[in-house]
Amino acid sequence: MGTHDNHRERMRERFISTGGNGFAPHELLEMLLYGATPRGDTNPAAHALIETFGSLDNVLNASFDDLKNVHGVGKTSAVMIKLVSKIAMECADGLRELETAGDFDTVGRQLITEFRAAGVERVFLILLDRKNRILHREFIGEGDFACARVDFRKIAELVLRKSASKVIIAHNHPDGNPNPSASDRATTINLEQFLKQIGVELKEHYIVTDCVYVGMKQVQGA
């Protein structure tokens, strides 16, 4: 096994153990390009992509021809990147509009994907306008295995900055048990009351595992 093979194996093991958390954008691209480049160092091409387009998001949104023209990125690598971009777009489609009859399940299924392979509890926020169109989405907190902190002040800052009317919040239970804890119930009640003070609706608080999701407002009969 050569030097690059050893490096790839270390990268794979690190990804398995962390779920990709803590990876720099160029490292994610480096690993993605393994599929297009069976042998050799993909790190220079990954760096070149970030330097050319400025961010991982811009790399995924770049045209096929622009990708192919980056030094070290050939046709096969460009196809791989555009394939991932297409998959990401398909996954995001379910969260763009939340007004259909399957709203709850559509969001729940997508959240399972968002949290997949997370080894610690994390908090995910989705901001909506009055028509349930997504304005913003991001992970806003991370905790240990037992508890992820929900920062109400940070949520309020994002709500005001994005002029959101509704909020969906979600956190995962890495142990696979979707049953809400007393803390989960209290957080839902407190967050809903907090948001009401600034004229914002808590649409749902999801608890997510690798294959199941639960809505706290449904559980509590809200």
Instruction: Give the CATH number for residue 185.
Output: 3.40.140.10
Residue 77 and residue 132 in one domain:
no
Q: Residue 159: which domain range?
A: 103-219
In this predicted structure, the answer to whether residue 178 has a pLDDT above a threshold of 80 is yes
At residue 148, does pLDDT exceed 60?
no
Q: Tens digits of per-residue pLDDT, 74-132?
A: 899 999 999 988 887 766 655 555 544 347 888 888 888 888 766 778 889 999 988 88
Q: What is the pLDDT of residues 9-32, one digit of tens each?
A: 999 999 888 887 788 889 999 999
As for how many domains the chain has, the answer is 2
Domain boundary among 93, 121, 150: 93
Ranked by mean pLDDT, which of 114-123, 147-156, 165-174 comes out on top?
165-174
Question: What does pLDDT average to over the chain?
Answer: 84
Does pTM top 0.85 for this prediction?
A: no
Q: Do 133 and 178 have their domain in common? A: yes
Does the structure show a pLDDT above 50 at 165?
yes
Last residue of a domain, one of 60, 93, 126: 93
Tell me: do 8 and 38 sit in the same domain: yes
HEC string of the chain? CCHHHHHHHHHHHHHHHHCCCCCCHHHHHHHHHHHCCCCCCCHHHHHHHHHHHCCHHHHHHCCHHHHHCCCCCCHHHHHHHHHHHHHHHHHHHCCCECCCCCHHHHHHHHHHHHHCCCCCCEEEEEEECCCCEEEEEEEEEECCCCCCCCCHHHHHHHHHHHCCCEEEEEEECCCCCCCCCHHHHHHHHHHHHHHHCCCCEEEEEEEECCCCEEEHHHHCCC
Q: Do 111 and 214 share a domain, yes or no?
A: yes
> Looking at residue 74, which CATH number applies to its domain?
1.10.150.20
Co-location of 83 and 121 in the same domain: no
98 located within any domain: no
Residue 184 lies in a domain: yes
Whether residues 51 and 110 fall in one domain: no
pLDDT at 213 over 70: yes
| Domain boundary, last residue among 93, 127, 143 | 93
Q: Within this chain, do residues 79 and 109 fall inside the same structural domain, yes or no?
A: no
What's the pLDDT at 1? Answer: 52
Query: What's the pLDDT band for 61 if we cut at 50, 70, 90?
Result: confident
Same domain as 115, residue 9? no
The answer on 142 and 76 residing in a single domain is no
pLDDT at residue 146 greater than cutoff 70: no
Question: In this structure, is residue 20 part of a structural domain?
Answer: yes
Answer yes or no: is pLDDT of 206 > 90. Answer: yes
Pair (139, 88) in one structural domain: no
Q: How high is the pLDDT of residue 33?
A: 92
